[in-house]
């Protein structure tokens, strides 16, 4: 049996330990002042956050009350405001992009559009919000499972479930110039569902696909997406960034020259 050396902490005698009992330890006055100033700025920061979150929630509630399909959509909120109002639901694999990345993506997508372009944002609400906030297009649509996002743009929201890949409004068939997609789960079944839809709604000759997902499933991606009229997929210059997700992510484009997509674009 080995004998452990006495821990430095155990060298104090009972009598020296008992000297501390009774009166609590005191901080030096300058340390105390520093601690008080830290705690008060933290409390102010939390109050600012709570106020902003309450304002964003109130705005979403008032949007919900005013949903009239025949009226134009309200101006799009900012990504920061959206993030305060819409928490991530991890059951639905929701991990929002950082504001800087969502803005870079929005500007990069806008750079390959004309004012008449029809753009589908599939399973990527933050990207849709950033795009419509920065430089909105009438032809933008959000295809999403989570109905919470309908209030953001009632005329542009389309309920979409990748488990029912053939269910979508008939007027979307072969209509999109650009499709941006971030599939919720990193597996073959998910990607089979979404590509089945994409092949039916993208413009068959010159439609562009932008796919954001994890390089860990790259083999599955090439097997499913590299077939005409979509592929081959090219790795783009854009490097996706999330707020709460550390997984490595990449971005692919389906057209000649997609390698330069996002190059030099700043938020």
For ligand SAM, the binding residues (CB under 6 A) are 92-97, 123-127, 144-146, 160-163, 182, 184
CB-wise, 5 or 136, nearer to ligand SAM? 136
Q: How far is the CB of 160 from ligand SAM (least distance, A)?
A: 5
For 138, other C-beta atoms within 10 Å of its C-beta total 12
CB-wise, 125 or 154, nearer to ligand SAM? 125
User: Helix, strand or coil for residue 102?
Assistant: helix
CB-wise, 177 or 182, nearer to ligand SAM? 182
Q: Which single residue brings its beta carbon nearest to ligand SAM?
A: 126
Q: How far is the CB of 189 from ligand SAM (least distance, A)?
A: 11
Q: How far is the CB of 214 from ligand SAM (least distance, A)?
A: 10
> What is the C-alpha to C-alpha distance for residues 22 and 259, in angstroms, rounded to an integer?
70
Smallest CA-to-CA distance from 211 within 188, 231, 189 is with 231
For 96, other C-beta atoms within 10 Å of its C-beta total 22
CB-wise, 123 or 217, nearer to ligand SAM? 123
Are 230 and 205 contacting, i.e. CB atoms less than 8 angstroms apart? no
State both tokens at 84: 């305060």
DSSP annotation of 33 reads H
Q: How far is the CB of 242 from ligand SAM (least distance, A)?
A: 6
CB-wise, 20 or 193, nearer to ligand SAM? 193
CA 207 to chain centre: 24
Are 93 and 187 contacting, i.e. CB atoms less than 8 angstroms apart? no
> What is the C-alpha to C-alpha distance for residues 160 and 138, in angstroms, rounded to an integer?
20
CB-wise, 21 or 168, nearer to ligand SAM? 168
Q: How far is the CB of 46 from ligand SAM (least distance, A)?
A: 25
Task: State the alpha helices, DSSP H only, in the chain.
Answer: 14-18, 29-65, 79-85, 99-111, 125-134, 188-201, 218-225
Q: How far is the CB of 119 from ligand SAM (least distance, A)?
A: 14
């Amino acid at each position: 049996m080995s004998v452990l050396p006495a821990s430095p902490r155990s060298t104090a005698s009972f009598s020296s330990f008992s000297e501390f009992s009774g009166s609590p330890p005191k901080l030096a006055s300058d340390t105390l002042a520093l601690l008080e100033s830290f705690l008060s700025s933290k409390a102010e920061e939390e109050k600012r956050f709570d106020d902003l979150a309450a304002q964003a929630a109130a705005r979403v509630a008032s949007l919900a009350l005013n949903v009239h399909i025949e009226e134009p959509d309200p101006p799009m909120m900012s990504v920061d405001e959206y993030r305060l109002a819409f928490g991530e639901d991890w059951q639905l694999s929701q991990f929002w992009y950082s504001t800087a990345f969502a803005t870079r993506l929005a500007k990069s997508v806008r750079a390959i559009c004309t004012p008449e372009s029809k753009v589908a944002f599939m399973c990527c609400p933050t990207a849709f919000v950033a795009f419509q906030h920065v430089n909105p297009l009438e032809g933008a649509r959000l295809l999403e499972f989570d109905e919470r996002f309908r209030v953001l743009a009632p005329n542009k929201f389309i309920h979409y479930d990748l488990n029912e890949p053939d269910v979508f409004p008939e007027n979307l068939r072969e209509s999109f110039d650009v499709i941006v997609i971030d599939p919720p789960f990193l597996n073959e079944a998910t990607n089979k569902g979404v590509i089945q839809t994409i092949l039916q709604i993208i413009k068959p000759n010159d439609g562009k696909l932008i796919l954001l997902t994890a390089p860990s499933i790259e083999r599955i991606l090439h097997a499913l997406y590299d077939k005409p009229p979509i592929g081959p997929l090219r790795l783009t210059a854009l490097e996706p960034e999330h707020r709460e997700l550390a997984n490595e992510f990449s971005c692919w484009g389906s057209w000649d020259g997609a390698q330069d997509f996002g190059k030099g674009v700043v938020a």
